[in-house]
Structure 1
Amino acid sequence: MVTPPAGSREGAHGDGARDALAVEVRPEAGTVVLLLAGELDHDTAEPLRDALQAALNAPAAGGAPHLLVDLSRLRFCDSTGLNILLRARLVARAAGGAMELAGPTRQVARMFHLTGADGVFRVHPDLDTALTAGRAGDQDT
Structure 2
Amino acid sequence: MDRQTADSTNRGRLQVTARTEGRSEVVTAAGELDHHTADLLRVPLDEALEQGRSRLVIDCSRLEFCDSTGLNVLLGARLKADAAGGGVHLAGMLPVVARVFEITGADAVFTVHESLEEALAD
| TM-score normalised to structure 1 length | 0.80
Distance (whole Å) between structure 1 residues aligned to residue 10 and residue 105 of structure 2: 30
CA positional deviation for 1:7: 2.1
Q: Structure 2: 5+ residue runs without aligned partners?
A: none
1:128 aligns with 2:117: yes
Q: 1:108 aligns with which of 90, 97, 114?
A: 97
TM-superposed deviation, 1:97: 1.3
What's the CA shift for 1:66? 0.6
Q: Find the counterpart in structure 1 of residue 88 from structure 2.
A: 99
**Greater relative CO (CA pairs within 8 A, separation 6+):** 2
Q: Where is the strand percentage greater, Structure 1 or Structure 2?
A: 2
Give the fraction of aligned pairs with identical amino acids, expressed as a percent.
Answer: 51
Residue aligning to 2:41? 48
- Supply the RMSD in Å over aligned alpha carbons: 1.0
The Cα shift of 1:127 comes to: 0.2
State the partner residue of 1:35.
Answer: 28
Report what 2:75 is aligned to: 86
Asked whether the 8 Å contact 1:74–1:104 carries over to 2, the reply is yes
User: Runs of 4 or more off by more than 3 Å in structure 1?
Assistant: none
Q: Rg: which structure is higher?
A: 1
Q: 2-side partners of 1:75 and 1:131: how far apart?
A: 22
Deviations 1:45-87 (A, max 9, x none): 1111111110110134xxxx11000100001000000000001
Residues paired across the two proteins, number: 118
Q: Structure 2: how far apart are the matches of 1:59 and 1:116?
A: 28
